[in-house]
Structure 1
Amino acid sequence: MTITTHNGMALLELDAAGPLLATEQDAVDLIGETYGTDADIIVVPLARLDPQFLELRSGIAGVFFQKLQNYQKRLVVLGDIAAEVAASKSLHDFVHETNRIGNHLFVPDRETLLARL
């Protein structure tokens, strides 16, 4: 995990290696990692998220987004999900709306993330 700054915003960036994140407690733990830092944005590589995260009916994504929203933190999912988005209209609509609003983001790579901030 590292803290970086871009355009005056502090990002807590998780390493790609590590335990899968899937529960409400995992979301709370992520928020806890920001304490003592200026980080409002938590960047999570797709590899760190439980594969069920992108299956919206599992509720995992909703729990993460809601918990971080409650604590005024932004979640960025970093990784290419084009195949998953193409295969699911509901995921397509969710990702499109999430990115349109811009509080939380799905981005394929770090360069896209930095361009969006």
Structure 2
Amino acid sequence: MHITKVEAAGGNIAVVSSSEKLIVDVQSALDLMATVHYEAGCDRIVINKSLLSESFFDLKTRLAGEILQKFINYRVKVAIIGDFSAFSSKSFQDFIYECNRGSDIYFLPTEQQAIEKLSILK
């Protein structure tokens, strides 16, 4: 795992990259949050969708809800970046829409858009 700190308004944002899946269950999401906080001191994170288990994107597994609730509970803002058009289910598209309307979790197409969105948050 590689963490790059990006200076932004109101604090730093951690951009996390890796060649392997980092979030496969709730515990691995908690581990990621702890590592980012310890190594970079950030509570705003950008991760590519490729770092998430495929089961995250299947809402029937409830994994997405459980993981994203942990980010909210620990007051960590997260932007998941990538092309989500392959996930054509209406329920998943509605899930993305609702997340993007909030102030904690975003699904965005590019790293730059994610950084801009997380920069305006307090």
Alignment TM class, shorter chain as reference:
0.7 to 0.9
Q: How do 1:92-103 and structure 2 match up within 5 A?
A: 92-103=93-104
Normalising by structure 1, report the TM-score.
Answer: 0.87
Counterparts in 2 of 1:49 and 1:36: CA distance versus 1, 3 Å? closer
1:56 counterpart (52, 59, 74): 59
* Sequence identity (%): 29
2:33 counterpart (31, 34, 37): 31
Alignment check: 8 A CA contact 1:16 1:45 kept: no
The whole-number CA distance in structure 1 between the counterparts of 2:103 and 2:68 is 12
1:15 is matched with 17
Query: Unpaired runs of 5+ in structure 1?
Result: none
Mapped pair 1:88 → 2:99? no
Counterparts in 2 of 1:95 and 1:3: CA distance versus 1, 3 Å? same
1:10 is matched by which residue type in structure 2?
N
Normalising by structure 2, report the TM-score.
Answer: 0.84
Q: After the TM superposition, which segments of 4 or more aligned residues of structure 1 sit over 3 Å from their partners?
A: none
Query: Unpaired runs of 5+ in structure 2?
Result: none
